[in-house]
Protein backbone atom coordinates (compact mmCIF):
# COMPACT_ATOMS: atom_id res chain seq x y z
CA UNK A 1 0.00 0.00 0.00
CA UNK A 2 2.81 2.42 0.89
CA UNK A 3 4.54 1.73 -2.42
CA UNK A 4 1.37 2.62 -4.35
CA UNK A 5 1.03 5.84 -2.38
CA UNK A 6 4.63 6.84 -3.20
CA UNK A 7 4.05 6.24 -6.95
CA UNK A 8 0.86 8.29 -6.83
CA UNK A 9 2.64 11.19 -5.11
CA UNK A 10 5.49 11.05 -7.64
CA UNK A 11 3.01 11.11 -10.54
CA UNK A 12 1.15 14.11 -9.08
CA UNK A 13 4.41 16.02 -8.53
CA UNK A 14 5.59 15.38 -12.09
CA UNK A 15 2.24 16.42 -13.55
CA UNK A 16 2.21 19.65 -11.55
CA UNK A 17 5.78 20.59 -12.45
CA UNK A 18 5.03 20.36 -16.19
CA UNK A 19 1.99 22.57 -15.81
CA UNK A 20 3.97 25.15 -13.83
CA UNK A 21 6.70 25.28 -16.50
CA UNK A 22 4.19 26.07 -19.25
CA UNK A 23 2.04 28.47 -17.20
CA UNK A 24 2.24 32.08 -18.29
CA UNK A 25 1.13 34.57 -20.91
CA UNK A 26 1.71 34.12 -24.65
CA UNK A 27 0.90 36.10 -27.80
CA UNK A 28 0.41 35.06 -31.43
CA UNK A 29 -0.28 37.01 -34.62
CA UNK A 30 -2.39 35.68 -37.46
CA UNK A 31 -2.88 37.15 -40.91
CA UNK A 32 -6.53 36.68 -41.82
CA UNK A 33 -8.79 38.04 -44.57
CA UNK A 34 -9.43 41.18 -42.51
CA UNK A 35 -5.77 41.79 -41.73
CA UNK A 36 -3.52 40.97 -38.80
CA UNK A 37 -5.12 39.62 -35.63
CA UNK A 38 -3.37 39.39 -32.26
CA UNK A 39 -4.33 36.62 -29.85
CA UNK A 40 -3.22 36.45 -26.22
CA UNK A 41 -3.28 33.09 -24.44
CA UNK A 42 -2.94 32.83 -20.66
CA UNK A 43 -2.19 29.43 -19.08
CA UNK A 44 -2.89 29.50 -15.34
CA UNK A 45 -0.94 27.34 -12.91
CA UNK A 46 -4.25 25.82 -11.75
CA UNK A 47 -5.11 24.44 -15.21
CA UNK A 48 -7.43 27.28 -16.18
CA UNK A 49 -6.76 29.37 -19.24
CA UNK A 50 -8.18 31.96 -21.60
CA UNK A 51 -7.74 33.33 -25.08
CA UNK A 52 -8.23 37.08 -25.64
CA UNK A 53 -8.97 37.84 -29.29
CA UNK A 54 -10.34 41.17 -30.48
CA UNK A 55 -11.75 42.08 -27.07
CA UNK A 56 -13.46 38.70 -26.66
CA UNK A 57 -12.38 36.36 -23.86
CA UNK A 58 -12.71 32.61 -24.39
CA UNK A 59 -12.07 30.45 -21.30
CA UNK A 60 -10.68 26.91 -21.45
CA UNK A 61 -8.83 24.37 -19.33
CA UNK A 62 -5.47 22.82 -20.14
CA UNK A 63 -3.01 20.16 -19.09
CA UNK A 64 0.68 19.54 -19.68
CA UNK A 65 2.19 16.51 -21.37
CA UNK A 66 5.85 15.50 -21.78
CA UNK A 67 6.13 17.27 -25.15
CA UNK A 68 3.50 20.02 -24.98
CA UNK A 69 0.04 21.00 -23.82
CA UNK A 70 -3.57 20.06 -24.49
CA UNK A 71 -6.22 22.77 -24.49
CA UNK A 72 -9.79 21.67 -23.68
CA UNK A 73 -12.39 24.12 -25.02
CA UNK A 74 -15.86 24.60 -23.58
CA UNK A 75 -17.46 22.95 -26.61
CA UNK A 76 -15.45 19.75 -26.08
CA UNK A 77 -12.66 20.22 -28.62
CA UNK A 78 -9.07 19.30 -27.73
CA UNK A 79 -6.35 21.46 -29.28
CA UNK A 80 -2.92 19.85 -29.12
CA UNK A 81 0.11 22.07 -28.71
CA UNK A 82 3.85 21.47 -28.69
CA UNK A 83 6.50 23.34 -26.72
CA UNK A 84 9.15 25.03 -28.88
CA UNK A 85 11.86 26.67 -26.81
CA UNK A 86 9.52 28.10 -24.19
CA UNK A 87 6.83 29.01 -26.74
CA UNK A 88 3.70 27.03 -27.62
CA UNK A 89 2.65 26.02 -31.14
CA UNK A 90 -1.05 25.15 -31.43
CA UNK A 91 -2.90 23.66 -34.39
CA UNK A 92 -6.11 25.71 -34.12
CA UNK A 93 -9.05 24.31 -36.14
CA UNK A 94 -10.18 26.71 -38.85
CA UNK A 95 -7.12 28.94 -38.37
CA UNK A 96 -4.02 26.75 -38.72
CA UNK A 97 -0.81 26.43 -36.76
CA UNK A 98 -0.09 29.44 -34.54
CA UNK A 99 3.09 30.11 -32.60
CA UNK A 100 2.29 31.64 -29.22
CA UNK A 101 5.42 33.45 -27.99
CA UNK A 102 5.91 33.77 -24.23
CA UNK A 103 5.50 37.38 -23.09
Q: Which of 58, 52, 68 is nearest to 18 (CA)?
A: 68
Domain ranges (residues) in the chain: 2-102
Q: CATH topology for 2-102?
A: Lipocalin (2.40.128)
CB 86 within 8 A of CB 99: no
Rounded CA separation 46/66 (Å): 18
> What is the spatial distance between Cα 3 and Cα 76, in angstroms, rounded to a whole number?
36
Mapped onto helix, strand or coil, the DSSP state of residue 7 is helix
Query: pLDDT tens for residues 4-47?
Result: 444 444 444 444 445 668 999 999 998 878 788 899 999 999 99
Of 62, 63, 69, nearest to 84 (Cα)? 69
pLDDT digits 0-9 by tens, 52-102: 988 899 999 999 988 899 999 999 999 999 999 899 999 887 788 999 999
Amino acid sequence: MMKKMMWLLLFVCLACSGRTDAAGSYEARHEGPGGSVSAVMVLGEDGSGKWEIGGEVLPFSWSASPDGVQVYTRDGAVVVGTMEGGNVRLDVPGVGRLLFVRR
